[in-house]
Copies of this chain bind each other. A is one copy, B any other.
Amino acid sequence: MIFPAAEFQGRVARLQARMADAGIDALLLTTPPDVFYVTGFLTRFWESPARPWFVIVPAKGAPVAVIPSIGAGLMGKTWLSDIRTWDAPDLVDDGVSLLASTLGDLVPDTGAVGLHMGLETHLRMPLADYERLRAALAPRHFADATGLVQRVREVKSEAEIDRIRQTCAIAGRAFDRVPEIAGAGAPLERVFRDFQRLLLEEGAEWVSYLAGGAGPGGYGDVISPASDRPLARGDVLMLDTGAVREGYFCDFDRNWAVGGADDASRRAYDRLYAATEAGLAAARPGMTAGGLYRAMAAVTGDVSGRIGHGLGLSLTEWPSLIPSDRTELRAGMVLTLEPWVEIAPGRMMVHEENVVIREGAAELLSPRAAAELPVI
């Protein structure tokens, strides 16, 4: 296991304290980050959408797993002892009656089952099975537990921060080696593949996310797959990665000028660097996510979309650095600072760093980008 049982016991105790306040008798978790968070169960097998997996956090005591039998061995290595399995896939009853009876025992007839219903969440089980579960558990009701879980998960323990720092260091070493793989003439599609290779060589266990872009004096967007167009002198290249080690993500990017940079690119880079400096300087417990947006937007000007977000067991977590997000920043929250600027219509540049909110100044988790746009 990646953490000792005490780490998970603390997490569960913090969830249970908030569950008691909210009148929730059991929490039903269905997604990889939530299940890992309370159990330590870590597997790439989630990639298969075939099977649902359920973990219940009761009002008191350790979580109960209700999972396909193929996962019994691995779940048995976690700190959980109550592991109930069915032979999935079962075309008639794919764990629903087992889950209903387990929840029925843990939740009084008039009680509430907490579940994610809010933004940035989804229910990872078939909708018809959820309706069956609701019917089977009535008159118990389901209640939104999104905020409750977020308030606990968003404050990372030092053990978690260490893991995120470790993944950031891996990506930092890979970014340092980009001159080995990128330069005028290298097709962007090959740069994407080679950069993932560098991440693996530097210690990433897998590369869950890779994005980027390249174009003369800036790139068009940051979500398109790579084309096979060769990099050309005057291009700005950006690579943005969500590599993973021991379950924890990094999420930051780097920019390079190919051959040389024009003034507009250099100025855009300087502005983004100044914006992340402003974000780093401003980030403090007690301010809001919206306040941190404003600290960076004071440098870049207002932009659409979010310019940063939470980070940890997923590539992106709440809160969102947007003007309207009033989530209070607290010590231990890990965030990305991700300002962007439009250089010209269809040409943008984005810069991203990872930080942890501390009682004093925020701490950088990603190795700081170069102060000036590097040339390769």
Contacts and interface: CB of A to CB of B under 8 A. Distances in A.
A115 interface: yes
Given A200-B194, A206-B196, A223-B70, A122 B125 contact: yes
Contacts of A122: 49, 52, 122-127
A44 B200 contact: no
Interface in A105-149: 115-129, 131, 144, 146
A221 B91 CA distance: 24
A26 interface: no
A6 interface: no
A16 interface: no
B121 A117 contact: no
Contacts of A127: 115-117, 121-123
Contacts of A316: 48-50
Given A89-B306, A122-B127, A200-B197, A73 B208 contact: no
A101 interface: no
A88 B220 CA distance: 19
Name A's interface SS.
Answer: loop
B117 A128 contact: yes
Contacts of A31: 49
Interface stretch (A256-264, A318-326, A368-376): A318-326
A128 B119 CA distance: 8
A328 B363 CA distance: 58
27 contacts: A43-B223, A44-B211, A45-B223, A47-B208, A47-B209, A48-B315, A49-B121, A50-B120, A70-B223, A70-B305, A71-B223, A73-B221, A94-B119, A115-B127, A116-B126, A116-B127, A118-B126, A119-B126, A120-B126, A121-B126, A122-B123, A122-B126, A189-B205, A196-B200, A196-B206, A197-B201, A205-B225
Interface of A: 31, 42-45, 47-50, 52, 68-71, 73-74, 77, 87-89, 91-92, 94, 115-129, 131, 144, 146, 189, 192-194, 196-197, 200-201, 203-211, 220-221, 223-226, 242, 304-306, 309, 314-316, 318, 320, 322, 324-325
